[in-house]
Copies of this chain bind each other. A is one copy, B any other.
Amino acid sequence: MEKIKVTIGVDIGGTNTVYGFVDKNGKIIHSNSIPTYAEKEANQLFERLFEDINSSVKKIENEYEIVGIGIGAPNANYYKGTVEMPPNLNWGIVNVLELIKRYTPLPSAITNDANAAAIGEMIFGAAKGMKNFIVITLGTGLGSGIIVNGDLVYGDDGFAGEIGHTIVFPEGRECGCGRKGCLETYASATGIRRTVFELIGSTNIQSNLREKSFNELTSKDIADAANSGDQLAIYAFDYTAKILGLKLADSVAYLSPEAIILFGGLALAGNLILEPTKKYMEENLLNIFKNKVKILPSALPGADAAVLGSSALIWNELAKKKL
């Protein structure tokens, strides 16, 4: 009997590194997680990772053939195969694709988390069959992956798709990038927490969120409060959506996508964020674009989304090479 082809999807995070064997339909055959040890150098991770992968391969190799490995990592450069100065890993600049040749002869590719999410949505998720769309990841920051004519937009240097660092207010909130007023300081899980704290300072609206410190408060707390009718939390979602919708109208002017897919922690708030974002985007769209562009939630299962995205990256590469 012919073996079923699977790829390995790897997601490198600041705390854990997760991998899974994924078939062409996005079914995860097996997955596992190991600690990343962010303070150590890159090679110690890959040594432990491939030890773990190899022992897992033994369990499935009678039935499955592994055909490639896709990696999602912070600050990854698809063209160069590198990870460059990731904020949450003590790696400096590492050529990951070179490094893993010590451990595997498989075809490999690497990209950043948001780009992997975009390819994941195209191959397995909400963007199946779409050729032009944008994925916005609303996590600690705001990441984005742009697909044009069925291909990811990497730009001249591999770093395209930084919609989170387009500027909303030139003298606005301080951003981790060293500038001010970037979109991600407003529209992200961190951004909505900042908005809640500004509202606590600037208004007298009663709210249970006044009981929490900034470091305690999560975007899920804000969503829970909004769902219980907390006016300050509701106002915070509306303000977040207003700014995100305004800037997504710009995204449509650039790229005229079929859909914009919201992914990640803050997107889990569902219609608390999707509906007002759509409303404010429509209000700001050029006439020719009105009532055309869908705002959709991610269709990748939350816990497995990153592994599916990384797997989709290499499935997509393998498909291109067969053309």
Which of A14-22, A56-64, A251-259, A303-311 participates in binding chain B?
A251-259
Partner of A155, one of B159, B246, B255, B286: B255
Contacting residues, chain B, for A178 (C-beta < 8 A): 287
**A289 interface residue per 8 A CB criterion:** yes
Q: Which residue of B lies closest to A249 (CB)?
A: B167
- Contacts A132-B156, A179-B284 given: A254-B163 contact, CB under 8 Å? yes
Binds B, one of A87-95, A146-154, A264-272: A146-154
Q: Which of A133-153 contact B (CB under 8 A)?
A: 146, 148-149, 151, 153
B255 contacts A157, C-beta separation under 8 Å: no
**A292 in the interface (beta carbon within 8 A):** yes
Instruction: Evaluate whether A131 and B156 lie within 8 angstroms (CB atoms) in the complex, with A167-B249, A254-B162, A286-B165 already known.
Output: yes
Q: What's the number of copies of this chain in the assembled complex?
A: 2
| Contact (Cβ within 8 A) B167 A284 | yes
Q: Do A161 and B287 have beta carbons less than 8 Å apart?
A: no
A:254-297 near B, CB below 8 Å: 254-258, 284, 286-289, 292
List the B residue with the shortest CB-CB distance to A77: B288
Is residue A250 within 8 Å, beta carbon to beta carbon, of the partner chain? yes
Neighbouring B residues of A199 by C-beta, 8 Å: none
Contact call A166/B254, Cβ cutoff below 8 A: yes
Contact A165 to B256, CB < 8 A, known contacts A159-B288, A287-B177, A289-B159: no
Knowing A148-B148, A165-B286, A167-B246 are in contact, say whether A256-B179 is a contact too (CB < 8 A): no
Top 8 A-B pairs ranked by shortest CB distance?
A155-B256, A160-B256, A156-B258, A166-B250, A162-B253, A132-B156, A165-B286, A165-B253
Q: Given contact pairs A156-B257, A156-B258, enumerate 5 new A-B contacts (beta carbons under 8 Å).
A: A148-B155, A156-B256, A161-B256, A162-B256, A178-B287
